[in-house]
Amino acid sequence: MIRSNFGVVAIAAMAAVSGCGEDKKAQAPAKPTISIAIGSAAPLTGGIAHLGKDNENGTRLAVEEANAAKIKIDGKDATFDLVSHDDQADPKVGTTIAQKLVDARVAGVVGHLNSGVTIPASAVYNGANPPIPMITGSATNPKLTEQGFRNVFRVVGRDDQQGPAIASYLASNAKPRLAAVIDDATAYGEGLANEVEKTLKAAGVKVLAREKGTDKTADWKAVLTKVKGRNPDAVFYGGMDATAGPLLRQGRELGIKAVFAFGDGACTDNMKQLAGEAADGLLCSQAGIPPQAASQKFLDAYKKRFSIDPILYAPFTYDATNLLIEAMKKADSADPAKYLPELQKIDFNGATGRIVFDAKGDRSDAEMTIFTMSAGKLLPIAIIKSGKTIKYEDFVAQAAAPRPGDGAKR
């Protein structure tokens, strides 16, 4: 076996003919093979492990499908190996995991889930020699792609797109005069809350002084009691569902009648379990199309493989993985230095639609989806694309029109 820089390449050798008598048989040379490692990093333990596992599942499905497709890279039969790590949604752990993936010489990385972990981890991948391509399917903080790293990409929208989307929908439909904004003090939660506050103020909504918790806060009563005293018409929280659920439930218990709104981290069916009946009527956004709007091919394959439906961003990590593989195919190489230029200019039709990256590595013209919770079910009600709001039913009808199949655009 000869170990290459990226992946393990098995060089075919002529088998020696040994033995004696009539049992001597010449053996055909083994086919040359190449083993290509793809890293996956997400929280697989802790309060948002369900979201991390969903992300990992999307990557795993793409890797398994690629192996079944018998892909050749550089004239060799390619086997893709998933190297998955639990970053615990912790920036320090995340950078340690990133270094482990660099040391393991993975060809590319799908991850991380949280912006607060993805941003510092991206510097590690960028510092590798050569830089290792990294695509996140869920980190939305604009800072990620504002660092100038040419190897960093995302297949979902940014918070400076998502924040205005949910805030504008809230202002137009709930018509609040006074709003409270709370965040969990993470890069994701605070960044999204900043964008929401900015947009609400621009729409003429008065916003109270910012209130804060952490990404582990379970008791929000002190914050909520303070908010209740000002009697806001709307409350926005920037954070994940593990903390958003208790906040919403306790807010209703205290008698706050305001409309509660959230970003993608709390835009999950898990809010029903965490907030109970208080979840009905919430508004929330996702930085992309909803899972149920992904291609039927993906949805059927995911359900068959994992016996559940995707929760949130699995369609995007699935596409991210396929983007890495497609770029390797185009370059006919798993060497990041050789396939990165193909990734930068790729035009791909995936499970979440057409993907083209801009100069920063962001997905061009990304959609935003607005949801509400009704009878314990999270229902998409509107898609925002290119600054225009489209009813979800109309978007689905448009998407159902004939279009090129999944895969690279020819």
Is 90 exceeded by the pLDDT of residue 406?
no
The answer on pLDDT for 15 being more than 80 is no
Cα(108)–Cα(105) distance, rounded to whole angstroms?
9
Least confident of 144-158, 254-268, 329-343, 387-401: 387-401
Its CATH class, for the domain covering 160-286+368-399, is alpha beta
Q: If you average pLDDT over residues 367-393, what whole number do you get?
A: 91
Q: What is the pLDDT of residue 10?
A: 37
- Indicate the average pLDDT of the chain: 91
Q: What is the DSSP string of 270-307?
A: HHHHHHGGGGTT-EEEESSS-GGGS-HHHHHHHHHHHS
Across 319-376, where does the E strand assignment appear?
347-350, 353-356, 368-374
With beta carbons less than 8 A apart as the criterion, state whether 330 and 342 touch. yes
Question: For the residues of 233-278, what is the DSSP string, one character each?
Answer: SEEEEES-HHHHHHHHHHHHHTT--SEEEE-GGG-STHHHHHHGGG
The helix (run of H) or strand (run of E) holding residue 39 is: strand 33-42
185: which residues sit within 8 A by CB, 6+ positions away? 212, 213, 214, 215
pLDDT tens digits, one per residue of 162-194: 999 999 999 999 999 999 999 999 999 999 999
Q: Which pLDDT band holds residue 9 (cuts at 50, 70, 90)? A: very low
Q: Is domain 2-11+32-157+291-356 given the CATH code 3.40.50.2300 in the classification?
A: yes
Q: Rounded to an integer, what distance in angstroms lies between the CA atom of residue 171 and that of residue 180?
A: 13
222 closest CA partner among 247, 196, 201, 202: 247
Residues 72, 7: Cα–Cα separation, whole Å: 14
pLDDT digits (tens, 9 = 90+) for 271-318: 999 999 999 999 999 999 999 899 999 999 999 999 999 998 999 999
pTM of the predicted model over 0.95? no
**Tell me: the pLDDT tens digits for 29-75?**
778 999 999 999 999 999 999 999 999 999 999 999 999 999 999 99
Residue 8's pLDDT is what? 41
List all residues 6 or more positions away from 165 whose beta carbon is below 8 Å from its beta carbon.
285, 368, 370, 384
Peptide bond into 50 cis (omega under 30): no
Res. 11 pLDDT band, cuts 50 70 90: very low
Residues of the chain with CATH 3.40.50.2300: 2-11+32-157+291-356, 160-286+368-399
Taking residue 232's Cβ as centre, other Cβ atoms within 10 Å add up to: 23
Three-state DSSP class for residue 151: coil
Residue 378 has pLDDT above 70, yes or no: yes
By mean pLDDT, which of 16-20, 255-259, 383-387, 390-394 is the weakest?
16-20
